[in-house]
């Protein structure tokens, strides 16, 4: 039985583009002590493969973190499979707000040391002693007390650039691991205040809030379900929406709109824009913000140089990429000297 994908991703992307099957995009996570992560990984892969599930799942001894899409026709079967996994029975599923069915093009499940790379030594503090969870209504009420509360964005610079909560502290970092010491330093004189953390779906705040309590902060809170759940509750309950812009998501969509404000700019021309893309030059693949005009001018590339490479025959492109995989900019996330209007 095949337990991993062997088809070229370009073929899979082309197949997905031509497929109009309705799919439901969702994410979930659960911190749970898994005795055998490899066994659970293989079990989950077989179940998901049978249901046509696509997406990215990380499994570790500390639990599971998943961003996936499920064919709408198989939703009930998916929920049965989900309910049969004991520690996931009552776990929340964060359903995407905007879904074109093209969020993922293959299924990838990996066993990792952690379900989120945080750089923390979990043996030095109680990871289960996290901050108090807030629903959207409670979040709004607490953050209205501006003099008593600090809102902390636990995401990365390219996420907060296109959308964030009003008055939030937004660390200029590339990774969650980088954000922890920087936020700690920023809050060293704020230990008497309410510290309210948020992220995309809640998983980063689970660990971060526990670590900050370990560092001596007593009034630590976290937005339950993150921005995704907040947006759902705001819409369903008619609450004030304190989030401005788009919520960055880690799939092919690269974002879903939460409010109508466009707070970012095209990294190439400076016009208002909050549409992320990856440079079409496979040797670069830089994540950046690009408006429709610049996308046409540069053929979806981040620079004229990448554009010239993109138009070379595929065999010549492969020759240029040989031995240079480590130089791809896929992890630079919007930091490049060619981007003239990166804030």
- Residue 319 φ/ψ region, left for φ over 0, alpha for ψ in the -120 to 50 degree band, beta for the rest: alpha
Strand partners, 24: 70
Other beta carbons within 10 Å of 306: 23
Tokens of 127: 């990871």
User: Which one of 199, 291, 294, 302 is the catalytic residue?
Assistant: 199
Decide: residue 300, CB within 10 A, 0-12 exposed, 13-18 middle, 19+ buried: middle
Alpha helices in 98-256 (DSSP H): 136-143, 157-160, 176-186, 203-214, 226-237
Is 199 one of the catalytic residues? yes
CA 236, chain centre distance (Å): 23
Beta strands in the chain, from DSSP E residues, in sequence order? 23-31, 54-60, 63-71, 94-95, 107-111, 132-134, 149-153, 163-165, 194-198, 220-223, 243-247, 256-257, 276-278, 287-289
Q: Are 197 and 134 in contact (CB under 8 A)?
A: no
| Edge-to-edge strand ranges of the sheet holding 256-257 | 163-165, 243-247, 256-257
Distance CA 171, CA 14 (A): 37
Catalytic positions? 199
């Amino acid at each position: 039985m095949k337990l991993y994908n062997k088809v070229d991703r370009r073929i899979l992307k082309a197949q997905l583009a031509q497929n109009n099957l309705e799919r439901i995009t969702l994410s979930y996570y659960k911190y749970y002590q898994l005795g055998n992560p490899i066994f659970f990984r293989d079990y989950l892969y077989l179940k998901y493969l049978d249901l046509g599930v696509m997406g990215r799942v990380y499994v570790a001894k500390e639990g599971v973190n998943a961003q996936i899409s499920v064919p709408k026709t198989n939703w009930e079967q998916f929920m049965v499979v989900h309910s049969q996994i004991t520690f996931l029975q009552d776990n929340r599923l964060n359903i995407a707000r905007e879904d074109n069915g093209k969020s993922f093009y293959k299924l990838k499940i990996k066993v990792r040391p952690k379900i989120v790379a945080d750089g923390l030594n979990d043996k030095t503090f109680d990871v289960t002693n996290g901050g108090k969870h807030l629903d959207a209504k409670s979040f709004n009420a607490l953050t209205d007390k501006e003099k008593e509360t600090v809102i902390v964005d636990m995401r990365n610079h390219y996420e907060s650039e296109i959308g964030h909560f009003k008055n939030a502290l937004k660390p200029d970092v590339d990774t969650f691991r980088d954000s922890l010491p920087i936020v700690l330093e920023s809050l060293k004189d704020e230990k008497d205040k309410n510290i309210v953390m948020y992220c995309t779906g809640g998983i980063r705040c689970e660990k971060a809030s526990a670590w900050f309590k370990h560092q001596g902060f007593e009034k630590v809170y976290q937005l339950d379900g993150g921005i995704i759940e907040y947006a759902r509750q705001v819409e369903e309950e008619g609450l004030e929406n304190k989030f401005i812009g788009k919520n960055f998501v880690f799939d092919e969509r690269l974002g879903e709109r939460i409010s109508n404000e466009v707070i970012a700019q095209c990294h190439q021309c400076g016009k208002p824009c909050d549409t992320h893309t990856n440079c079409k030059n496979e040797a670069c693949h830089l994540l950046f913000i690009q408006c429709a005009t610049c996308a046409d001018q540069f053929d979806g590339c981040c620079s004229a140089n990448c554009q010239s490479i993109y138009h070379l025959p595929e065999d010549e492109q492969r020759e240029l990429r040989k031995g240079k995989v480590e130089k791809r900019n896929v992890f630079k996330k919007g930091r490049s000297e060619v981007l003239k209007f990166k804030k």
